Structure 1
Amino acid sequence: MARKIGSRYTANQILGRGSAGTVWLGEGPDGPVAIKLLREDLASDQELVGRFVQERTALLGLEHPHIVTVRDLVVDGNDLALVMDLVRGTDLRTRLERERRLAPEAAVAIVADVADALAAAHAAGVVHRDVKPENVLLDMRGPIGPGGSHPALLTDFGVAKLIDSPRRTRATKIIGTPDYLAPEIVEGLPPRAAVDIYALATVLYELLAGFTPFGGGHPGAVLRRHVTETVVPLPGIPEELWQLLVQCLAKAPASRLRASELAARLREQLPTLAGMPPLEVDEPDLSEEAAEESAPSAPQGEPVRRRGAVSLVPGAKPDSNRDTHTSMRVPGPDELAGGAHGTARAPRATGAPRPGSARHKAAVRRRRVTLGVAGVVVAAVVAVGAWFASSGGDDDQPAPGTHSTSAP
């Protein structure tokens, strides 16, 4: 059912839903538009409305061929909406789910487009904060690029920033999607441009491999891996492209490339990737160690794979609603120190259980039972020995190692 948005726009049909609101196919004075209508509880937040108005100039000023342009911001009664260009196509998550993984040439071309978009945004002082396949749209009416790729456009600029108000997300909260969060965000540091580079490199890894480098299992485990684990190499990937990925997934923000540098370096790679088929990568089943970290509600015997869009609610369905962002508690230093494969923990022998894991706890329990049984046996032996000693005294027989003082 159609509804009016402000005085200039009409929302006709729902295109999708997310955690921040609903996207509608709409009509405006200049033709079709996409209207992102934020949730009513967000629209009733006067502080958020104020931030919305303050960010108006910055959001409307972001114009680039690879950015979905925000045409207008509407504040009208209970309606809080962003009016954007309508992109005729699909999002990158949908293509990834259909094809599982992309050929390197197409993947690199798409990510180079997004890097161009980020370069323009960062130059304007805007950090996206939530780069992921759901927020990359593919323009099916645009010219075909390298590897048969369609032009990629980055959308939802400013949404995470608008909702990330100091009152709404105190120092104990973080904004973002777990699989794509840079380590510095997990550790509670303010987001800078480098967080977008880390997220985009994660997207490139996912396009090539079919899974994210640190995803899978419980969200807390995913966050810890970002801080403590090193990225696992992909077989068959050209060395120069791999080194580029590793640099942009560096734990230290200063070690990552800038968006403009990343876009240029990726396009330099395109001629060497022409005709290369998708990588032959086995999507890893959740290992025994990772299974211990996964949500306890996962069906027994069913492998949990390292895929994007990890649910923040145990037992919840996958992110079919294309959530824009999620809010999580920042883990403490003691939690981050328990990483699975990083330097934040003491080395252990191959096959040995990870400290704190279910296997480790079971082993501790077994040792305690063993020690308890051994203690009972020792106590029993001592008791029996004491009984024999006392029995010998009653029969007037000297105990071994003693001398009798009886008269002859």
Structure 2
Amino acid sequence: MARKIGSRYTAHQVLGRGSAGTVWLGEGPDGPVAVKLLREDLASDQELVGRFVQERTALLGLDHPHIVSVHDLVVDGNDLALVMDLVRGTDLRTRLDRERRMAPEAAVAIVADVADALAAAHAAGVVHRDVKPENVLLDMQGPLGPGGAHPALLTDFGVAKLIDTPRRTRATKIIGTPDYLAPEIVEGLPPRAAVDIYALATVLYELLAGFTPFGGGHPGAVLRRHVTETVAPLPGIPDELWQLLVQCLAKAPASRLRASELAARLREQLPSLAGMPPLDVDEPGSEPEEDEGAEDPAEGTEGGTAAGARGEPRVRRGAVPLVPGAKPDSNRDTHTSMRVPGPDELAGGARGTARVPRAAGAPRPGSARNRAMARRRRLTLGAAALVLVAAVGLGAWAALSDDEGDVPPQDSNNSAPAVP
């Protein structure tokens, strides 16, 4: 059912839903547009509406081939909307849900496009603050790039900043998506351009591995890992690309590259990545199924469905697909409100929370399968030791037998005369 958005736009159908609002296919004076209609509770916040209007100039001024341009901001009654370019394609989260991980060449090409977009935004003094796959759109009508990658466009600039108003959040709250939050945000520092670099490096890690480096479990555990854990290496990743990732995931913001530097360095990697297949690694904490009837660990959990023998695609944790009626996962909401962990919580608990990627098929440390394999190894080593001991014993017995057989027999003709 169509609805009017202001006096110039008409929204015809829902394209997708997120935690901040709903995206509609709309029509304006110059043709089709995408209209992001923010939630009604946000539209009723007069302080937020004032801030929304103040941000108008900055948002309308972002013009770059890899940024979804904002054409207009509408404040009309209970409607608070951003009118944007309509991108004919899908979002990066949807592609990850379908493919789980991408070939390194395509992943790096997409992230390089996003880095270019961030470079333009940062030069204009705008920090995105919510870089993640849901906010990267793939233009299916654009020319294919390296590895068959579609052009990537970054969207939702300014939404996190608009919602993060002093009245809605206090110093004890964090606004953001846990998996992609830079350590300095967790520690309560103001977000600068470096937080976008950290989030983008996390996205690249996820495109390569199929999971984020510090995600999984309760949001509080995720926040702690960002502050205390060191990113674990990915088996099979080229060393130069890995060093680039490590630098951009540094805990200290000053150690990270600028967006323009990251884009240039990533494109330098593309020739060496041509033809490289996706990495073959297992997510930390996951167990490969040992038999066809094994229970799927995702079954019965929020955002997860059974895959297994039925051949159905597994819905990844936290998927927020751009389809009508989609239910967002609370762990991936754009504006999840979380308590800032205290210093004692951030200082402790690091041991045991590390999530080390494993080669495909390798058991998870401490799992039942890992313990069973360890028992089998001990039994095998014990049996080998027994065989070795038996072999040594037999060898010694044989050697002694040979020594006894070498004693010459006594000659009866040479025997000593009997004593009378």
Tell me the TM-score normalized by structure 2. Answer: 0.74
- 1:245 aligns to what? 245
- 2:318 aligns to what? 309
- 1:290 aligns to what? none
CA contact (8 A) 1:175 1:328 kept: yes
CA contact (8 A) 1:211 1:308 kept: no
CA contact (8 A) 1:36 1:83 kept: yes
Alignment partners' CA distance in 2, 1:221 and 1:6: 43
> CA separation of 1:153/1:321 partners in 2, compared to 1, >3 Å: closer, same or farther?
farther
- Tell me the CA shift for residue 339 of structure 1: 3.2
Pairing 1:107–2:116 present? no
Alignment partners' CA distance in 2, 1:223 and 1:323: 15
Mapping of 1:264-283 within 5 angstroms? 264-283=264-283
Residue by residue, what CA displacement relative to the aligned partner does 1:158-214 show, whole Å, maximum 9, x if unpaired?
A: 000001001111101111100000000001100000000000000000000000000
Mapping of 1:175-190 within 5 angstroms? 175-190=175-190
Residue by residue, what CA displacement relative to the aligned partner does 1:320-360 show, whole Å, maximum 9, x if unpaired?
A: 997432221111111111232499xxxxxxx99xxxxxxxx
- 1:332 aligns to what? 342
Alignment partners' CA distance in 2, 1:22 and 1:324: 13
Q: Which amino acid aligns with 2:340?
A: V
Alignment partners' CA distance in 2, 1:321 and 1:342: 21
Mapping of 1:40-119 within 5 angstroms? 40-119=40-119
Mapping of 1:291-370 within 5 angstroms? 309=318, 319=329, 323-341=333-351
Mapping of 1:1-20 within 5 angstroms? 1-20=1-20
Alignment partners' CA distance in 2, 1:318 and 1:192: 27
Q: Which amino acid aligns with 2:61?
A: G
Residue by residue, what CA displacement relative to the aligned partner does 1:209-250 show, whole Å, maximum 9, x if unpaired?
A: 000000001110000000000001001100000000000000
CA contact (8 A) 1:173 1:330 kept: yes
Q: Which amino acid aligns with 1:229?
A: E
- 1:34 aligns to what? 34
- 1:256 aligns to what? 256
Number of residue equivalences: 328
SS in 1 for 2:281: coil
Alignment partners' CA distance in 1, 2:120 and 2:213: 27
Pairing 1:156–2:156 present? yes
Alignment partners' CA distance in 1, 2:116 and 2:351: 33
> CA separation of 1:112/1:145 partners in 2, compared to 1, >3 Å: closer, same or farther?
same
Alignment partners' CA distance in 2, 1:268 and 1:341: 36
> CA separation of 1:5/1:66 partners in 2, compared to 1, >3 Å: closer, same or farther?
same
- Structure 1 residue runs of 4+, over 6 Å off? none
- 2:406 aligns to what? none
SS in 2 for 1:32: strand
Alignment partners' CA distance in 1, 2:234 and 2:57: 42
- Tell me the CA shift for residue 280 of structure 1: 1.2
CA contact (8 A) 1:230 1:342 kept: no
Alignment partners' CA distance in 1, 2:253 and 2:245: 14
Alignment partners' CA distance in 2, 1:107 and 1:341: 31
CA contact (8 A) 1:217 1:310 kept: no
> CA separation of 1:227/1:342 partners in 2, compared to 1, >3 Å: closer, same or farther?
farther
Residue by residue, what CA displacement relative to the aligned partner does 1:1-34 show, whole Å, maximum 9, x if unpaired?
A: 1000000000000111111111100000000000
Q: Which amino acid aligns with 1:145?
A: G
Alignment partners' CA distance in 2, 1:321 and 1:179: 8
Could you tell me which runs of 5 or more consecutive residues in structure 1 were left unpaired when the two chains were aligned. Answer: 288-296, 312-316, 344-350, 353-408
- 2:137 aligns to what? 137
Residue by residue, what CA displacement relative to the aligned partner does 1:309-330 show, whole Å, maximum 9, x if unpaired?
A: 399xxxxx76299743222111
> CA separation of 1:201/1:341 partners in 2, compared to 1, >3 Å: closer, same or farther?
farther
Alignment partners' CA distance in 1, 2:43 and 2:328: 27
> CA separation of 1:190/1:183 partners in 2, compared to 1, >3 Å: closer, same or farther?
same
Residue by residue, what CA displacement relative to the aligned partner does 1:262-298 show, whole Å, maximum 9, x if unpaired?
A: 00000000000000000111222259xxxxxxxxx96
> CA separation of 1:323/1:28 partners in 2, compared to 1, >3 Å: closer, same or farther?
farther
CA contact (8 A) 2:108 2:204 kept: yes
> CA separation of 1:298/1:78 partners in 2, compared to 1, >3 Å: closer, same or farther?
closer
Alignment partners' CA distance in 1, 2:181 and 2:352: 17
Q: Which amino acid aligns with 1:309?
A: G
Alignment partners' CA distance in 2, 1:276 and 1:154: 26
Moved more, 330-339 or 97-106: 330-339
Alignment partners' CA distance in 2, 1:325 and 1:145: 32
Q: Which amino acid aligns with 1:15?
A: L
SS in 2 for 1:233: coil
> CA separation of 1:279/1:157 partners in 2, compared to 1, >3 Å: closer, same or farther?
same
- 2:227 aligns to what? 227
> CA separation of 1:341/1:95 partners in 2, compared to 1, >3 Å: closer, same or farther?
same
